[in-house]
Amino acid sequence: MKNLFSILLAIALFSSCKTIKPNESLASVKSENSNPTVPSNNPIIKDKYTGDPAALVYKDKVYLYAGHDEAPNDFNFYKMNEWLVYSSSDMVNWQEHPVPLKVTDFAWAKSDAWAAQVIERNGKFYWYVTVSHGTINGKAIGVAVSDSPTGPFKDALGKALVTNDMTTHTKIDWDDIDPTVHIDDDGQAYLFWGNTVCHYAKLKENMIELDGPIQTINLPNFTEAPWIHKHKDWYYLSYAYEFPEKIAYAMSKSINGPWEYKGILNEIAGNSNTNHQSIIDFKGVPYFIYHNGSTQPNGGSFRRSVCVDRLYYNSDGTMKRVIMTSEGIQK
């Protein structure tokens, strides 16, 4: 029996070894040796440029909201006028829905459909967005509302929720961007946002008014893109670190801190100077969603593509460093 096993093993080893014949190109051998059964699922959206992902788990689906990089040939900055929404039941197959929200849906805004996040409360969906304000200098945060996670959404307030003049910790006029929202276990909602300075404030139960003062959090090398999430009994505040951006994070036992810095979570994303994470659990599996510039080698920072990879927690609650892959999530 042992001899038979040895013979079968030898046959298997022999058949797996392959010498390159003179008439075979290296490319064909390489291609043959790669695993064609594993598709490249990253980026997850290949027919449009998408940036600043924010995912919402609702019932048995994930809804992915992203900004749309229009990326005209002669434009070397962000050209973004609308947001997009996709849904998935398995994190592999994504369905696009009609455009749910545009800058022009906010009468007081003038441009820049920048980073945003949607949250559900009492059957309504609230979408916190970054835009440029039409009359108050600088960026601002607006909020839209819908009865459906796929919209259509409409301006919930008729004016900005946060304007540049409400926060004066830095002189820049783009410090009021990148809102992230969380409803704590006791029902209190919080909005975090910022560039250079990380701000946060309570939201009233109606989700369209701040409740109390705007506070700040000191985080090492905070650039922008805060994302607040809870996993088991820990709160996590991840954010873009330095520039070009890595993603770092801090942890706390309370959403009000104190926050303890825990290090780098994700390295610089290929060909993009931003990275912009969204972190969720879906059907018991943690995911790290981000963007890179992998689709377009020319000007990737403004021609971004959303990707998804697995996220892993250590037993002490810290997060393992993300490994960005071409394969992405496989069935």
Site for Ca ion in 144-173 (CB under 5 A): 164, 167
Alpha carbon 53 to its chain centroid, in Å, reads: 3
Query: What are the backbone angles phi and psi of residue 311, rounded to the nearest 5°?
Result: -120, 145
- Closer to Ca ion by Cβ: residue 69 or 175: 175
| Shortest distance (Å) from residue 163 CB to Ca ion | 8
Smallest CA-to-CA distance from 212 within 190, 196, 231 is with 190
d(CA 144, CA 15) in angstroms, rounded, equals: 61
- Closer to Ca ion by Cβ: residue 167 or 295: 167
| Shortest distance (Å) from residue 292 CB to Ca ion | 29
Rg (C-alpha) for the chain, rounded Å, is 22
- Closer to Ca ion by Cβ: residue 155 or 176: 176
By CB under 5 A, which span of 63-71, 106-114, 174-182, 201-209 interacts with Ca ion? 174-182
Greatest Cα pair distance in the chain: 84
* Coil vs helix vs strand at 90: coil
- Contact by Cβ (8 Å): 120, 58: yes
* Coil vs helix vs strand at 112: strand
| Shortest distance (Å) from residue 77 CB to Ca ion | 20
Site for Ca ion in 176-205 (CB under 5 A): 176
| Shortest distance (Å) from residue 90 CB to Ca ion | 41
- Closer to Ca ion by Cβ: residue 101 or 160: 160
| Shortest distance (Å) from residue 157 CB to Ca ion | 18
Smallest CA-to-CA distance from 66 within 274, 209, 273 is with 274
Binding flag, residue 175, Ca ion (CB under 5 A): yes
Smallest CA-to-CA distance from 274 within 156, 178, 160 is with 178
Which residue's Cβ has the minimum distance to Ca ion? 167
Count residues contacting Ca ion (CB under 5 A)? Answer: 4
- Closer to Ca ion by Cβ: residue 40 or 170: 170
Residues that bind Ca ion (CB under 5 A): 164, 167, 175-176
